[in-house]
Amino acid sequence: MSMPSRVKIVEVSPRDGLQNEKQIVPTDVKVELVDRLTQAGFPNVEATSFVSPKWVPQMADAAEVMARIQRRPGVVYSVLTPNMKGFDAARAAGADEVVIFGAASEAFSQKNINCSIAESLERFAPVAEAAKAAGIRLRGSISTALGCPYQGDVPIEDVVRVARTFMDMGCDEIDVADTIGVGTPQHVRNVMRAVTAHVDPARVSGHFHDTYGQALANILAALETDIAIFHTSVAGLGGCPYAKGATGNVATEDVLYMLRGLNIETGVDFDAVVDIGQWMAAHLDRKGSSRAGNAVAAKRAA
């Protein structure tokens, strides 16, 4: 089975990881998190999101986070932008990449962004156009691509339809997102094969939440279909406020450990990431959910 020799890890903990935290995380901690991540070698960090603070209060300090982080040359700093208001703020903040996020299931679209899939795609069109005109990278994220908390099964053709629309809008990258972590490897293979029949696999990422413990296996399955971009979160932080019961993204430490065993390059310093995961979990006053991170930390303490 062929697999990529190098993968790009997009570290999403500052956004997906923190957006779901009940306690408001101080801006200082967010800034330190982003800076520590870029120092550890991540080529792309999802730094925050420019969404309505009424909907997601945790991300209300987006502009401040962006203003205070130390820009590391070559790193792509991504932010979520659901509409033009978000885009204008993201542009002013100097984001390198903006993310439009739609769903493959109607019910989730309503709960998450308060409109139908068709309406959301209409709202994203001007954002996409403005990003292209400004020379800002554009990414399109497809939520509930492997299952929906409200609708259950999501037909693969619905995922492909959103992926194709995002490509037509000029997206540089497309995320196949398992919002609630219900996917299993064969399903992932089928979805990735269907999407990559229309989109260059080099532009497709896997964004897997680990709710059902399938995320590492799903990444392996996606690697086997030539996917070479994955979203991960230190200490397994994360979850969507509009996907009840869904836990965090796959833990970065676990993914790095697996990739190292597969001889796949990432350019990211595993030991530094273990430190960041432990620091962040301590800050949130709980144990992180990375098995590899906790194992290494326990070994160090022995």
Q: Candidates 35-43, 47-55, 218-226, 259-267 — which segment interacts with ligand HMG by CB under 6 A?
A: 47-55
> What does 82 interact with, of Mg ion, ligand HMG, none (CB < 5 to 8 A by kind)?
ligand HMG
Q: Which residues have CB under 8 Å from 212's CB, separation 6+? A: 181, 182
Burial of 242 (0-12, 13-18, 19+ CB in 10 A): buried
Closer residue to ligand HMG, CB minimum distance, 45 or 177 = 177
Closer residue to Mg ion, CB minimum distance, 124 or 242 = 242
Per CB under 6 A, 54 contacts ligand HMG: yes
CA distance linking residue 300 with residue 205, whole number of Å: 33
Triad 95, 264, 181: Cα angle to 5°? 65
> What does 198 interact with, of ligand HMG, Mg ion, none (CB < 5 to 8 A by kind)?
none
Q: Candidates 80-88, 147-155, 197-205, 282-290 — which segment interacts with ligand HMG by CB under 6 A?
A: 80-88
Residue with tokens 């390198």: 96
User: Is 240 one of the catalytic residues?
Assistant: yes
CA distance linking residue 290 with residue 277, whole number of Å: 8
Closest CA to 17 of 273, 299, 297, 301: 273
Per CB under 6 A, 248 contacts ligand HMG: no
Answer for which of 11, 16, 253, 275 binds Mg ion (CB under 5 A) is 16
CA distance linking residue 235 with residue 294, whole number of Å: 9
Cα–Cα distances (Å) from 293 to 31, 160, 189, 268, in that order, read 22, 35, 27, 14
Per CB under 5 A, 175 contacts Mg ion: no
Task: Compute how many residues bind ligand HMG; rule: CB under 6 A.
Answer: 27
Per CB under 6 A, 13 contacts ligand HMG: no
Answer for which of 10, 11, 50, 183 binds ligand HMG (CB under 6 A) is 50
Footprint of ligand HMG (CB under 6 A): 16, 19, 49-56, 80, 82-83, 85-86, 101, 112-114, 141, 143, 177, 179, 207, 209, 240, 242
Residues taking part in catalysis: 240
